[in-house]
Structure 1
Amino acid sequence: MVFTSGGFSQAFDDLAAQYTRETGVRILIGHGPSMGETFNAIPARLGRREAADVVILARGALDQLAAAGKIKPGSQTDLGLSKIAVAVKEGAPLPDISNMEAVRSTLLAAKSVAWSDSASGVYIQTAMLDRLGVADNVRPKGRMIPATPVGEIVAKGEADIGFQQLSELKGVKGIHIVGLLPDDLQQVTPFSAGVVSYSTHPGEADALISFLSSPRSYATIIKSGLEPAARKANP
C-alpha cells in the first residue's frame, strides 16, 4: 500500500502502472495531503496505523514522520522537485506574475485568492504574503483549501486566482495555468518517499523506491510537472 500526496499523485499513478507492467507487482494507492487536519492527511493515516508500506509526500512532512518513528530510518529518498504555479479560470484575463512587484499588484487587485493547506499554501500564507507586504490585505480575502485541488476552486469561479504546485494544477479542467512564480518568490519543495516503520513488506517497499528514484522514472516525473530530484543532484 502506498500513500501519496497531491504533488506527486499524477506521476505516481503512472509510475505504479509502469512498475506493475514490468514486475507484475500490484500496488494499492491511497491519496491524501502531506499535512493538514483532514481525515485522509497522510500523517493522520499513519497515526491511525492504517496499513501502508510507502509514503510519498513533501520532504518536510516526511522528516517529521521520521522523527516520530513512523518511517524506517535512512529510507527517505527525494523523488521530484516541485514549484508553485498560478492559475485563473479558463477565459479570464491573464494576470502579470513576471516579477515580485507584478505578483504583489496582482494579489492586491484580486477579489479572492486560494491556496492549498499543504506545503505550497503554508509557505504562501505564512511567508510569501508577509514578504510582499500584502498579508493584511490578502489574508482576509484568501482561502486555504483543504483536501481539494485549488484548480477546482478556481474553475468553479470561487476564487479569482489560485496558487498550488504545478503538478497539482496540471490536468485540472476549466483553468489556465498562467505560469510559475518568479524565482525570487519561488519555493521548491522536494517530494520524497519513505518506508513506513510498521510495513509488512519492507523489501518490496525498498525495491519500489529504488525504481521511483531511478532514471526509468524521469520522463514520467517531468511530464507531471516536476524535476527529477536525483538528476538535479547528479547532473
Structure 2
Amino acid sequence: MKAISSMATRHLLADLVASAASAGCAEVTVESVGGVDAERRVAAGEGFDLVFLAESALRRLAVGGHVDASTVTPLVVSQVAVAVRSGSTGPAELPLVPAFDDAAGLREALRAAERIGYSTGPSGTALLRMIDEWGFADELGDRLVQARPGVPVAALLADGEVDLGFQQLSELVGQIGVRILGAMPDDAAIDTVFGGVVATASADPSRAASLLAFLASEVVVPIKLAHAFGTV
C-alpha cells in the first residue's frame, strides 16, 4: 500500500507502520513531503491508499471528495517549539519546560531576532497570524523567512540562515546544530492535530482502514510519546 504524509510525522510514521506490519497489518510505504505539496497531489488524484496530514488539510480534501470523510482519524497532537542555532555536534534534546514564561517573553525574542525561520503548513500560518494580531507584521517584515517546501527549519538554523526558528517539536528533536528552547508558552501555544484518512483512490480501502485503526490504538501510544507527540 502507498501513503503520503507531511514532513512533520515522517519519523513517527516510519515506526508506526513498522509496528503495524509486525502486528499483521498491511505493509505500507509512506512518502513524506511538504504538507502543501502532499495535499495538492492527493487533490490531483494521485494513487495513494492513506493520507497523513493536519486535520485542517484532511477536512479540505474530504470536502473535495478526495478522501473518505468517514475515515478521518485523529492520531497525535504536535506542539510548535522554538529553537536557536547551536555549536554542538550532538542531537537536539527534548526540553522539559516552555521556551518562555509567557507571550510577552516570546514577543521580545521575536523583536530581537535578526532572521526568524518558520515552516510551511498550518503551524507557519498560525505563527504569522499571531504575529499579525500582535501588530508585529510590518516591524518584522523581511526578517521572516519561510522554509522551502520539504526543508526543515532546523536546517535553516544549522546553516545560519536564521537565528530563531519555529517548527513542530517532533521535527526538531534529534537534529544536529540546533538547541531547542522549548515549546511555545501556554498563552501563545500553537498545537496541531495530525490524523490519517483513507484516500478515495485506494485500491483496498478496507485494509487501509484496518491499518489506520491500528495506528489510532493504545498499542502504539509509547511510540508516539517517544517521538515527542501528544496523544489525542
Q: Provide the TM-score with structure 1 as the length reference.
A: 0.89
Q: Which has the higher contact order (CA 8 A, sep 6+)?
A: 2
Deviation, 1:162, is 0.5
Tell me what 1:115 maps to.
Answer: 118
* Counterpart residue number, 1:38: none
CA deviations on 1:77-131 (whole Å, 9 max, x unpaired) are 0000111100111149xxx622111111111111100000111101111x11023
Contact conserved, 1:100 with 1:132, CA < 8 A, in 2? no
* Cα drift, residue 139 of structure 1: 3.0
Once residues 149 and 34 of structure 1 are traced to their aligned partners in structure 2, the CA distance between those partners, rounded to angstroms, is 12
Alignment partner, residue 79 of structure 1: 75
- Pair 1:205 & 2:208 matched: yes
Aligned counterpart for 2:141 among listed residues 127, 139, 142: 139
Q: What is the distance in 1 between the residues matched to 2:172 and 2:7?
A: 10
Question: Residue type matched to 1:131 in 2?
Answer: E
1:153 aligns with 2:156: yes
SS at match of 1:203: helix
What is the aligned partner in structure 2 of residue 90 from structure 1? 86
Matched, 1:44 2:40: yes
Q: Which amino acid aligns with 1:134?
A: F
- The whole-number CA distance in structure 1 between the counterparts of 2:19 and 2:145 is 37
Structure 2: stretches of 5+ with no match in the other structure: 89-98
What is the CA–CA distance in structure 1 between the aligned matches of 2:212 and 2:26, rounded to whole Å? Answer: 13
Distance 1:20 1:176 in 2: 34
State the Cα RMSD in Å.
1.5
* Other-structure match for 2:229: 226
For residues 145-181 of structure 1, the C-alpha deviation after alignment (integer angstroms, 9 at most, x for no partner) is: 1221111110111100100111111222111111000
Alpha-carbon offset, residue 26 of structure 1: 2.3
| 1:166 paired to 2:169 | yes
**Cα separation, 2, equivalents of 1:47 and 1:187:** 26
1:203–1:10: structure 2 CA closer, same or farther, 3 Å change rule? Answer: same
Alignment coverage as a number of residue pairs: 220
Residue of structure 1 equivalent to 2:57 = 61
State the identity as a percent: 30
How far does residue 136 in structure 1 lie from its aligned partner after superposition? 1.2
Q: What corresponds to 2:92 in structure 1?
A: none
Q: Distance in 1 between matches of 2:7 and 2:193?
A: 13
Which amino acid is 1:138 matched to?
A: L
Per-residue Cα deviation, 1:38-75 (whole angstroms, up to 9, x for no partner): xxx11221133222001010000110000000011311
- Identify the range of structure 1 (76-85 vs 220-229) with the bigger mean alpha-carbon deviation: 220-229
Unpaired stretches in structure 1, ≥5 consecutive residues: 36-40, 230-235
Is it true that 1:8 corresponds to 2:9 in the alignment? yes
How many angstroms does 1:24 deviate by?
A: 6.4
Which amino acid counterpart does residue 6 of structure 2 have in structure 1?
A: S
Query: How much does 1:189 deviate?
Result: 0.9
